[in-house]
Amino acid sequence: MQIIIVGLGKVGRALVGQLSKEHHNIVVVDMDPERIRNVSTMYDVMGVVGNGTSYSILQDADLEHTDILIALTESDEVNLLCCVIAKRKSQCHTIARVRNPVYSEERHFLRSELQLSMTINQDLEAAREVARLLRFPNAIEIDSFARDRIDLFRFKMPEDSDWFGRSLMEIAPHVKQNILVCIADRGGEITIPRGDYVVEKGDILTIIAMPGEAEKFFRAIGVKTNRCNNVMIIGGGRMAYYLTKILLNTGVDVKLIERNRKRCEELDEAFPGATITCGDGTDQTLLREERLDFMDAMVACTGIDEINAILSKYAQGKVKKKIITKLNHIEFDEVIESLELDSVIEPKYLTAQRILQYVRAMAESMDSNVETLYRLVNNRVEALEFIIRPKSRFIGVKLADLKFKPNTIVAGIRRNDNLIIPGGKDSFCEGDAVIVVTTNLGYQDINDIVRTGL
């Protein structure tokens, strides 16, 4: 597929890195020659230096033969204009990053009137992710499939669990809920576990379940699932704005600390139902005065990663249920993991992931039937949702007769709004949503999961 990416900021570079692994023809456009040079060298993509709103620059980027143009500059207006020009002069799909709350509230109008294929707001996406974690505090990460009817929950086994030293096969008869353990993380070593996998202390497991079943399961193994009723947010940027709006609408009490007085006044006017405090969120005295110890959760989302990480470590042992850390620069994965933070939100990767889902689901442009795609565990695992089409060769074939590729598992089948945890005697039916978990990155079609033939 031919793709133009305009803007090589954090999101643009992350997206180039992911798409280049999947053998697309990518052209990057940016005003900064050094950015172009670095990305072109690192990922072997074509680069054009210039303004993405210039038709001549887009011509140099081969707009005529482009399938998708993705505009990710820091300016919403530039992104929208890039997409308008591309749509007027070609038949390509267009994706624009739009972060301003005013534009976000009009996203449906913009998509319709400007003929955009998709608008993406990384701050809103991050806020939604945080809100979901606050509803289920003991999960490290939650990803949804089948239009939010099925979830993947990543969590750390409780210290006093009686699962330790037992295999999943031994444990299965005692688990009454309809769940499957589909990823195991032990000290950074990732496994797609089979029945003989033995659970040990410190394991971080990922299960697939319907939300109601997951709650019953977690209660059964001693993991509390009670939602957060009050939240302290440190930092008053765009993500904090969207998060405050979401939380207030769901009845959660919000206390927000921001050091810029003008911004505090704007937030106070926008959210009269929240408590807005103007002050330095790194001041321990202020945090004590604002009663951090009495909060169910704290979200560190200042514009500086180091401050967010330090605040989160400080809050450990003080906040009752959940600590969430926003990070923008996550190149040092091992360092971040060594900090043992509770939950980490990475807006640029959330955005890149959403765009990647769209790119890979363009059935009319490529041989793919991926409906949903998540990159998990620092991009080392993919969880994908495929739809079984009417003429699929898998219909009616028992799973036991399929030769799946190594480190690949069919984790669940959604059929008529029900989740089936499949066994060897199960088979696919037309219209099934099939959820596959694998460490083999890059599957684009349900046929990719088997070795050869049936």
pLDDT digits (tens, 9 = 90+) for 248-292: 999 999 999 999 999 999 999 999 999 999 999 999 999 999 999
For residue 63, the 8-state DSSP code is G
Topology alike, domains 2-120 and 230-350: yes
Q: Minimal CA–CA distance to 180: which of 168, 165, 189?
A: 168
**What is d(CA 288, CA 48) in angstroms, rounded to the nearest whole number?**
52
Helix axes 347-360 and 122-135, enclosed angle (nearest 10): 100
At residue 35 the predicted structure's pLDDT band, cuts being 50, 70 and 90, is very high
- Residue at 400: amino acid letter: A
Task: Read off the pLDDT band of 418 (50, 70, 90).
Answer: confident
Taking the C-alpha atoms of residue 45 and residue 411, their distance in angstroms, rounded to an integer, is: 35
Q: What is the pLDDT of residues 2-22, one digit of tens each?
A: 999 999 998 899 899 888 887
Q: For residue 117, give the nearest of 148, 86, 78, 75 by alpha carbon.
A: 86
Instruction: Dump pLDDT digits (tens) for 360-395.
Output: 766 433 445 677 777 777 778 888 888 888 888 899
Sheet holding 370-376, edge to edge: 370-376, 381-387, 433-438, 408-415, 418-420
**Pick from 233, 46, 59: nearest CA to 134:** 233
Instruction: With CA atoms as reference, report the closest residue to 12 among 43, 54, 58.
Output: 43
Burial class (CB in 10 A: 0-12, 13-18, 19+), 417: exposed
Pairing of strands 297-300, 343-345: unpaired
Which residues, at least 6 apart from 266, have a Cβ–Cβ distance to it below 8 Å? none
Find the radius of gyration of the CA atoms of the chain.
Answer: 23
Best CA proximity match to 369, nearest among 295, 269, 436: 436
Copy the structure tokens of residue 114: 């400007």
CA 317 distance to own-chain centroid:
27
Give dist(CA 144, CA 210) in Å, integer.
10
CB atoms within 10 A of CB 420: 16
Helix, strand, coil percent content, the chain, rounded in steps of 5: 35, 25, 40
Nearest to 90 by CA among 113, 62, 51, 109: 62
Please state the rounded mean pLDDT for residues 22-37: 92
- Distant-in-sequence, close-in-space partners of 288: CB < 8 Å, separation ≥ 6: none
Measure the CA–CA gap between 130 and 240, rounded to whole angstroms.
10
Work out the average pLDDT over 20-29.
88
Closest-CA residue to 215 (of 147, 296, 139): 139
**415: which residues sit within 8 A by CB, 6+ positions away?**
429, 431, 432, 433
CATH fold for the domain made of 2-120: Rossmann fold (3.40.50)
On the question of pLDDT at 198 being above 90, the answer is yes
Lowest-pLDDT choice from 4-8, 183-187, 378-382, 404-408: 378-382
Give the Cα separation of 350 and 122 in Å (integer).
Answer: 7
| 348 token code pair | 């640029």
> Sign of the CA dihedral 172, 174, 177, 182?
negative
| Domain 127-220 -> CATH class | alpha beta
Q: What is the pLDDT of residue 351?
A: 87
CA-to-CA distance for 425 and 404, rounded, in angstroms? 15
Inter-residue contact 377 to 183 (CB < 8 Å): yes
* Distances 255 to 36, 260, 315 between C-alpha atoms, Å: 42, 15, 15
Helical spans, DSSP H, in 183-304: 211-220, 238-249, 261-270, 284-289
Q: How do residues 71-82 score in pLDDT, each as one tens digit?
A: 999 999 999 999
Distance separating alpha carbons of residues 30 and 92, to the nearest angstrom: 19
Task: Tell me the mean pLDDT in the region 308-333.
Answer: 87
Average pLDDT score over the chain:
87
Measured CA to CA in angstroms, residue 163 lies from 170, 220, 247 at distances of 9, 12, 35
What fold, for 230-350?
Answer: Rossmann fold (3.40.50)
What does the alpha-carbon distance between residue 383 and residue 379 come to, in Å, rounded to a whole number? 10
Q: Classify 204 in phi/psi space as left (phi over 0), alpha (psi -120 to 50) or beta.
A: beta
- The CATH superfamily assigned to 370-449 is Regulator of K+ conductance, C-terminal domain (3.30.70.1450)
Q: How confident is the model at residue 197 (pLDDT cuts 50, 70, 90)?
A: very high
| Residue 206 to residue 140: CA distance in whole angstroms | 9
Domain boundaries, the chain: 2-120, 127-220, 230-350, 370-449
Decide: residue 7, CB within 10 A, 0-12 exposed, 13-18 middle, 19+ buried. buried
Mapping DSSP to helix (H, G, I), strand (E, B) and coil, where does residue 444 land? coil
Identify the pLDDT of residue 63. 94
Is residue 417 over pLDDT 90? Answer: no
Q: What integer pLDDT is reported at residue 280 of this predicted model?
A: 95
Q: Stretch 391-402: mean pLDDT, rounded?
A: 90
Neighbours of 162 (CB within 10 A): 12
